[in-house]
Amino acid sequence: MRGPLAAGIGFKPQHIDDALRCTSPGLWFEVHPENYFGGGPLPAMLDALAERHPVSLHGVSLSLASAAPPDANHLRRLRRLVDRVNPVLVSEHLAWSSWGGAYLPDLLPFPRTHEALAHVVENVQRSQDVLGRALSLENPSHYLPVDGHDWSETDFLAELVRRTGCGLLLDINNVYVSAHNLAVDARAYLAAFPLRAVTEIHLAGHAVDDGLEGGLLVDSHDSPVAEPVWELYRHALALAGACPTLIERDGHVPAFDELHAECRRAATLLGERRMAA
Amino acid sequence: MNGFAAFQRDFAAALFADMPSFAPASHPAFAVYRNTVMRACLDALEANFPAVACLVGRDWFRSAAAIHVASSPPRDARLAMYGESFADFLAGFEPAGSLPYLADVARLDRLYVECLHAEDVPTLGADRLAALGPGALARTCLRPHPATRWFSSAMPSRTIWEASRRGEAVHADLSWQPEQALVLRTPHGVHVQPAGPLEIDLLEACAAGATLGEATLAAATTYPDARIDLTLSGLLRSGAFATP
């Protein structure tokens, strides 16, 4: 019997031995399912990890915020992996990454129009039907203003939750990065966020691109979580209550212990929040 | 086309080309999307073609690969599988003309990737064939394992590939002759081993649906002095075939 999820770590294959050994209470791991769709040693490694710890699947390429439906083969492979590892959470992004048969490896923005909402609702419903379970959608990072929105992002997400029954993944670093880049107030965004639907929180590092005036923040996942993001995380926990929290790192991946230290810091804050509740 | 679809079409086009008519692309921060997409594609190609990258150096590799990415972006979200046409691109890439073996080295890098990620299927053991009588054996069709790949080059591309995967220079005493290789999956990953034309012919015949009788008869005609039985049992021991 596994206890409740506390803080987790984005899994990297080079950390498998440490991950299998680690016994922190409430520890869990998250993977990008796309890396485990085939056969061979990688999926076998995921089986071993899932045997030992709760595992979450965090997709990066389903392209749900698109005028086109999600790729049926991709959904079938995702369903197979869901059946194989029995993940505790399955999540994706409020973004698109495929168009005209090409995969564009990024999480791209779109005008949040009524028309877009109808497409996203349909795509989320279709995906949930194939997967046989609810998805959680993550708020994206923004780098530039897009014209033509009918909806604020938080209202758009709330409506999406209402119409599809999906959950939300609140990425605190994305909130911080987007608020900086679009010159909006991060705390006001959190105050408007449909927090009751949040199933998971993400924390990651960002980079500063000095090439642009004011210094653009880039959601680079290649450094430790920044102090202002920890601060915003504490604020989010005060609003939302304790929620499974993941440390993400995709570039300049350090030794497992360094990520585990960030994970323990999040676990401590979660514990304090649980005590306060 | 509706407004949402038109936005995506224009945004996607602006990632790889100048699109002055598409307003978001003129924002300085649009470069973040261009850079992220290109970098992810280049990182994937570099990871999937390490021997090529070693031979030509990282800078040359990435500038050549960027031309390929712009004309052939990934078709599949599994970036670990990206590069299905990269070897063909290199074969026709004029600046690579002084490295005639480069495209074959890329093909072997590609076969490695295909082998690594192929679906899991049990391998066929020799004991299952031994249980058959001679008549049934001749009528049996052997199916190459989904992970098994075979490789033929008119040049010593396997030797060049092996050295390059280790990040080493090729030995000066390299003998310039055709080479073949088998790419096989083991429980720990991928194993590339030297092979001969007989093994390649047998695998190709089996993959084309020939019975074992047909495949060995054809091989015996082409290689009258070869021990086809030993070659076949070697392939079986290597796990080259899948259970029916």
Q: Give the tokens for residue A74.
A: 């991709």
Chunked mean pLDDT (size 10), chain B, 244 residues: 92 93 93 96 98 97 97 95 98 96 98 96 90 89 97 97 95 92 94 96 97 96 94 94 92
Same domain, B94 and B194: no
State the nearest Cα–Cα gap between B173 and chain A, in angstroms: 36
Q: How do beta strands A55-58 and A89-93 pair?
A: parallel
Kindly determine whether residue A209 and residue B32, on different chains, have CB atoms separated by under 8 Å.
Answer: yes
Q: Are residues B138 and B179 in the same domain?
A: yes
B122–A contact, CB cutoff 8 A: no
- How are beta strands B143-144 and B149-153 bridged, if at all? unpaired
> Which of B99, B129, B163 is a domain's end point?
B99
Regarding whether B189 and B125 lie in a shared domain, the answer is yes
* Domain membership flag for residue B104: no
Domain edge (last residue) among B99, B133, B168:
B99
Q: Which residue of chain A comes nearest to B187, CA vs CA?
A: A41
CB–CB of A39 and B33 under 8 A? no
- Contact check, Cβ <8 Å, B189/A40: yes
Between the two ends of chain B, the Cα-to-Cα distance in Å is 48
> Is B29 within 8 Å of A39 when comparing Cβ atoms?
no
Query: What is the three-class DSSP state of B143?
Result: strand
- Which of B11, B76, B188 is the closest to A103 by Cβ? B76
CB contact under 8 A, A116 and B4: yes
Q: Chain A within 8 Å of B146 (Cβ-Cβ)?
A: yes
Same domain, B81 and B173: no
Q: How confident is the model at residue A1 (pLDDT cuts 50, 70, 90)?
A: very low
Q: Are residues B91 and B148 in the same domain?
A: no
Asked if residue B132 belongs to a domain, the reply is yes
Averaged pLDDT score across all residues of chain B: 95
With cut-offs at 50, 70 and 90, classify the pLDDT of residue A3: low
| A71, A74, A144 member nearest B24 (Cβ) | A144
Q: Closest-CA residue in chain A for B120?
A: A39
B16 CB within 8 Å of a chain A CB:
no
- Of the three residues B47, B65, B99, the one that is the final residue of a domain is B99
Q: Report pLDDT digits (tens) over A128-184.
A: 999 999 999 999 999 999 999 999 999 999 999 999 999 999 999 999 999 999 999
Are residue B50 and residue B165 in the same domain, yes or no? no
Residue A74: its chain B contacts at CB < 8 A? 77
Q: Is residue B136 part of a domain?
A: yes
Joined together, the tokens standing for residue B7 give 């936005």
Partners of B121 on chain A (C-beta within 8 Å) are 39
User: Quick count: other Cβ atoms within 10 Å of Cβ B1?
Assistant: 9
Same domain, B154 and B237: yes
B188 reaches A (C-beta below 8 A): yes
CB nearest A103 (choices: B9, B36, B77): B77
Residue B111 lies in a domain: no
Domain membership of residue B29 (yes or no) is yes
pLDDT of residue A210: 82
Domain assignment present for residue B51? The answer is yes
* ipTM of the shown complex: 0.95
* Domains present along chain A, CATH in parentheses: 7-276 (3.20.20.150)
Determine the residue type at A105. Answer: P
Tell me if B2 and A67 make a contact (CB, 8 A cut-off).
yes
> Is B19's Cβ below 8 Å from some Cβ in A?
no
pLDDT over 80 at A2, yes or no: no
Q: B127 and B239, same structural domain?
A: yes
Contact A49, A16 (CB under 8 A): yes
Q: What are the backbone dihedrals phi and psi of residue B5, each rounded to the nearest 5 degrees, phi first?
A: -65, -40
Sign of CA dihedral B199, B204, B209, B215: negative
- Chain A CB contacts of B77 below 8 Å: 34, 60-62, 71, 74, 97-98, 103, 105
Residues A259-267 have a mean pLDDT of 98
Residue B115 lies in a domain: no
In a domain, B190, yes or no: yes
Same domain, B137 and B237: yes
Nearest to B185 among A34, A40, A99 (CB): A40
Count CB atoms within 10 A of the CB of residue A61. 28
Best residue in B32, B111, B185 for a mutation probing chain A (most A CBs within 10 Å): B32
| B212 and B243 assigned to the same domain | yes
Q: For residue A268, give both structure tokens.
A: 């401590």
CB atoms inside a 10 Å sphere around CB A221:
18
B75 touches chain A (CB under 8 A): yes
Q: How many domains does chain B have?
A: 2
pLDDT tens-digit map of B132-180 = 888 899 999 999 999 999 999 999 999 999 999 999 999 888 999 999 9
Per the prediction, chain A carries an average pLDDT of 96
Shortest Cα distance, chain B CAs vs residue A14, angstroms: 14
Please count the CA atoms within 13 angstroms of the CA of A269 that sit on its side-chain side: 23
Residue B42 belongs to what domain range? 1-99
pLDDT digits (tens, 9 = 90+) for A56-101: 999 999 999 999 999 999 999 999 999 999 999 999 999 999 999 9
Out of B4, B37, B78, whose CB is closest to A67? B4
**pLDDT, tens digit, for every residue of A21-57?**
999 999 999 999 999 999 999 999 999 999 999 999 9
Same domain, residue pair B125 and B243: yes
Q: Are residues B238 and B165 in the same domain?
A: yes
Residues for chain B: how many in total? 244
* Record: contact A115-B33, CB cut-off 8 A: no
Nearest to A90 by CA among A153, A44, A175, A32: A32
The mean pLDDT value for A197-223 works out to 91
